[in-house]
């Protein structure tokens, strides 16, 4: 192409702003973080000499427990979210288009209130003086004296609350494209409702399932505000530990190492999802090619 905007120089010119900005403020900092993990801790709050001490210390104290706990809670949150989101997506997709738009919109509406404020509302509700606790006490749920606030349960509950819309949306988008007459066909062939749902609907929306899982799991792993405000000292996750080490103890190498661990635990499921998608695509392509090949040979045969 000889049109003016297609030259090499123009490409650099148009790419430069975002490229340089993100290189400077995203890629370089990531490298710095990684580099810091190979330094020792300096009492003054800075970074010490090159050493592997940070990684060694990471194994030793309570870190593995926290990492494990974070992953466990993230998995719990993801499962709860998906279990709730799938029927919701199914129900929305089966509505008539007018209602669909309204309900899908009202799933997103809570986002127009500040996230922190919503979490604070939960905090007010779950507080020992709050009405939810009062209800629990009234019916002596939870033994009457233990509080919901400052517990793992509160963190899971509010995390599900916060991330659930992120799970519903991709599932709904997938379910909307699903051909529901397949379910009827399955029932027609004698499948039980739930069996048809499990064997036909779920595989039909698997792309949506994968993105829903990621959309919940990633922010759950990186969760910081929710455990900070609702978990108290009973539920400390990697996010809180990173903040603690970076801001309060000024132990930069430890914060960096924890951040690296978090990045890896996010990249693994993403990598798996990508690998899975590529395999699915390859399979689909193969199937398609096989079909077309068959079609062509059939046609060739007919022509003769």
Partner 1 sequence: MKRSMVSVMILAAVLAFLYVPIILVVVYGFVPNGISMSFFGSDGSFLGFTGKWYRYIFTGHQSVRALLQSFWLSLIIAGLSTVASCAIGTTSALALHKWRGRLQSIHHALVYTPLIMPDILIGISLLMLFAACHVNCGFWTILIAHITFCVSYVAMTVLARLQDFDDRITEAAYDLGAGPWYAFFHVELPILLPGIVAGGLLAFTLSIDDVVITSFVNGAGTNTFPTYVSSMTKHSRNLPSVFALSTLMLVFTCVLVGLSKLITSKGQAKLKVKAS
Partner 2 sequence: MNSEFLVFDHVTKRFGALTAVNDVSFSVKKGEFFSLLGPSGCGKTTLLRMLGGFEKPDSGRIYLEGRDITDLAPNERRVHTVFQNYALFPTMTIWDNIAFSLRLAKLPKKEIEEKVDAILDMIQMSEHAWKYPNQLSGGQKQRVAIARALVDRPKVLLLDEPLAALDLKLRQHMLLELDTIHDQVGITFMYVTHDQGEAMSLSDRIAVINRGRIEQLDGPAKIYEAPSSRFVASFIGDTNFFSGEIVAKDGDYCTIRPDGFPDIRAYNDKQLEVGQKVDLSVRPEKIRVTLAPPPPEKGASINVYPSTVQDIVYQGVYTKYWISSSGVRVAALKPHSRFLLDQEPITWNDKVFVWWHPDDGYMVESEK
Q: How far is the CB of 112 from partner 1 (least distance, A)?
A: 5
Question: Rounded to 5 degrees, what are φ and ψ at 249?
Answer: -90, -5
| Cα 41 to Cα 54: distance, rounded to the nearest angstrom | 7
Nearer to partner 1, 108 or 298 (CB): 108
Q: How far is the CB of 2 from partner 2 (least distance, A)?
A: 5
Cβ count within 10 A of residue 100:
16
User: Which range binds partner 1 by CB under 8 A, 9-17, 51-59, 202-210, 279-287?
Assistant: 9-17
Which residues ranging from 54 to 113 are in contact with partner 1 (CB under 8 A)? Answer: 84-85, 87-88, 90-92, 94, 103, 106-107, 109-113
Binding mask 123-142 for partner 1 (x = CB under 8 A): xxx-x-xx------------
User: Which range binds partner 1 by CB under 8 A, 49-57, 61-69, 248-256, 284-292?
Assistant: 248-256
- The answer to whether residue 261 forms part of the interface with partner 1 (CB under 8 A) is no
| Cα 263 to Cα 172: distance, rounded to the nearest angstrom | 28
- The answer to whether residue 221 forms part of the interface with partner 1 (CB under 8 A) is yes
| Cα 269 to Cα 9: distance, rounded to the nearest angstrom | 38
Of partner 2, partner 1, none, which one does residue 2 interact with (CB within 5 to 8 Å by kind)?
Answer: partner 2
Binding mask 29-58 for partner 1 (x = CB under 8 A): xx-xx--x----------------------
Q: How far is the CB of 198 from partner 2 (least distance, A)?
A: 45
Site residue total, partner 1 (CB under 8 A): 85
| Cα 202 to Cα 100: distance, rounded to the nearest angstrom | 20
Q: Pick the binder of partner 1 from 148, 171, 200, 218 (CB under 8 A).
A: 218
Specify whether the CB–CB gap between 152 and 223 falls below 8 A: no
Q: Pick the binder of partner 1 from 204, 208, 219, 227 (CB under 8 A).
A: 219
* Footprint on this chain of partner 2 (rule: CB under 8 A): 1-4
| Cα 133 to Cα 130: distance, rounded to the nearest angstrom | 6
Instruction: Find the DSSP H helices in 94-237.
Output: 97-108, 115-126, 131-138, 152-177, 181-188, 193-196, 202-204, 206-221, 225-226
| Cα 206 to Cα 61: distance, rounded to the nearest angstrom | 40
Q: Pick the binder of partner 1 from 63, 100, 120, 232 (CB under 8 A).
A: 120
- The answer to whether residue 230 forms part of the interface with partner 1 (CB under 8 A) is no
Question: Tokens 């719990």 sit at which residue?
Answer: 76
DSSP state of 223: -
């Amino acid at each position: 192409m000889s049109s003016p905007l297609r030259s090499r120089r123009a490409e650099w010119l148009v790419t430069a702003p975002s490229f340089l900005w993100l290189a400077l403020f995203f890629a370089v900092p990531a490298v710095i973080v990684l580099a810091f993990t190979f330094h020792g801790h300096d009492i003054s709050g800075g970074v010490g000499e090159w050493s592997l001490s940070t990684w060694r210390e990471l194994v030793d104290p309570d870190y593995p427990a926290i990492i494990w706990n974070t992953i466990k809670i993230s998995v719990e949150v993801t499962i709860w979210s998906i279990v709730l989101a799938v029927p919701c997506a199914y129900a929305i997709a089966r509505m008539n288009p007018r209602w669909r738009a309204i309900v899908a919109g009202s799933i997103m509406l809570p986002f127009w209130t500040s996230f922190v404020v919503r979490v604070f509302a939960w905090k007010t509700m779950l507080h020992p003086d709050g009405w939810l606790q009062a209800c629990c006490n009234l019916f002596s749920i939870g033994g009457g004296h233990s509080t919901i606030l400052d517990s793992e349960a509160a963190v899971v509950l509010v995390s599900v609350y916060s991330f659930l819309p992120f799970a519903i949306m991709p599932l709904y988008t997938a379910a909307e494209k699903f051909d529901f007459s397949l379910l009827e066909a399955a029932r027609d062939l004698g499948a039980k409702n739930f069996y048809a749902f499990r064997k036909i609907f779920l595989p039909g929306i698997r792309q949506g399932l994968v993105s829903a899982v990621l959309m919940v799991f990633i922010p759950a792993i990186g969760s910081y505000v929710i455990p900070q405000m609702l978990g108290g000292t009973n539920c400390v996750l990697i996010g809180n530990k990173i903040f603690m080490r970076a801001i309060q103890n000024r132990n930069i190498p430890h914060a960096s190492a924890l951040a690296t661990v978090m990045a890896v635990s996010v990249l693994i499921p993403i990598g798996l999802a990508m690998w899975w998608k590529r395999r699915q695509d390859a399979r689909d392509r193969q199937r398609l090619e096989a079909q077309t090949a068959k079609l062509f040979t059939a046609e060739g045969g007919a022509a003769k």
